[in-house]
Amino acid sequence: MAMTGVLRPGHTQLRVLDLEESVNFYKNVMGLVETGRDKSGRVYFKCHDERDHNSLVLREADRAGMDHYAFKVLNRETLQRLDSDLRAYGIHTERIPAGEMLETGERIQFEAPTGHIFELYADKTEVGDGLGYLNPDVIIEDRKGISPLRLDHWQIHGGDLDGSRDLFVNVLGFSVVERIVAKDGKTDLAVWLSCSIKAHDIAFVRDERDNTLHHAAYLLESWDHVLRTADLMSKKRVSIDIGPLRHGITRGTTIYAFDPSGNRFETFCGGYNFYPDMKPYVWTEEEMGAAVFYHTRTLNERFLTVVT
């Protein structure tokens, strides 16, 4: 698949209640690499395997949750085209100048119908994964904690799911990969969207609470890595929501847990490849339990209700 527009989730800015407690968690439990701090007090991280300067920015605030979700696009020309396409679609955009975030170029910011703030950008300083590009090694040594491969996707909640879904499909070029439909057989209760060949890069869930985060997901290497992560979470007294288990949707294996501020995150592996000529899978409302948690076929109340 030729990727010529939106490439992947690039970074996200997360609100935390206690900055240094959160820095310790994301550095030593999650095993991310701190890459910088800016004048406003924000702290920047990347996963070991990621090559760009940052994928997570922490900001101390009095309320947990996500400030914005950013996708990287192919190049500056693509950024300009998508800015024009968004405005032609009736979406107001703002330009955030290069350098407002460390090592990050100009960003185009807009609000989706679900109330979430999204950004698109083309440029970010490449710092590499430590393996080099000529005759590279295959093992990154001295990794701490969970040490995921990359920021993988987000699940977010809001009222106008249809509007956000259509915006991402019709303007940004995403594909609908899976759906949960209401009892009428038509209304989407949740959709999983991809801008790549992954099973999903973002999921929208219909919820009266606009601009809310259900989870940010980090990719692990294997089922063994998921199980090791569960052991580590227990040892470090991380608050686990549910898992390890398998999703019906995407077929991935997973653990959901909470950071010290109550932001839910997922450690995830697996999932099938999706191409734009494929039809989306459809799940019915009465099978929602199996769709989300295939082994238990039930949803716990916390998973359904807690968002930030």
CA contacts within 13 A on the Cβ side of 24? 9
Beta strands in the chain (DSSP E): 6-16, 33-37, 43-46, 56-60, 65-73, 93-96, 107-111, 117-121, 150-158, 175-181, 188-194, 202-206, 212-219, 239-246, 253-258, 264-269, 281-284
Residues marked as catalytic:
153, 200, 215, 247, 256, 266
Per the structure, the count of domains in the chain is: 2
| Mean pLDDT of the region 181-203 | 96
pLDDT, residue 2, reads 65
121-148 pLDDT per residue, tens: 999 999 999 899 999 999 888 899 999 9
For position 3, what pLDDT does the model report? Answer: 82
C-alpha 252/C-alpha 223 separation (Å) is 9
- What predicted TM-score, i.e. pTM, was given to this entire model? 0.97
Give the domain-ending residue among 104, 121, 138.
Answer: 121
Q: Identify the band that residue 299 occupies on the pLDDT scale cut at 50, 70 and 90.
A: confident
pLDDT of residue 214: 98
80 CB-near residues (< 8 Å, 6+ apart):
none
Same domain as 230, residue 86: no
Owner of token pair 């900001």: 59
Q: What is the pLDDT of residue 4?
A: 83
Q: Which domain covers residue 76, as residue numbers?
A: 6-121
Residues 49 and 189 in one domain: no
Residues 29-74 pLDDT 10s: 999 999 999 999 999 999 999 999 999 999 999 999 999 999 999 9
Q: How far apart are the first and last CA of the chain?
A: 35
CATH number at residue 53: 3.10.180.10
pLDDT tens by residue, 160-186 = 999 999 999 999 999 999 999 999 999
Whether residues 110 and 256 share a domain: the answer is no
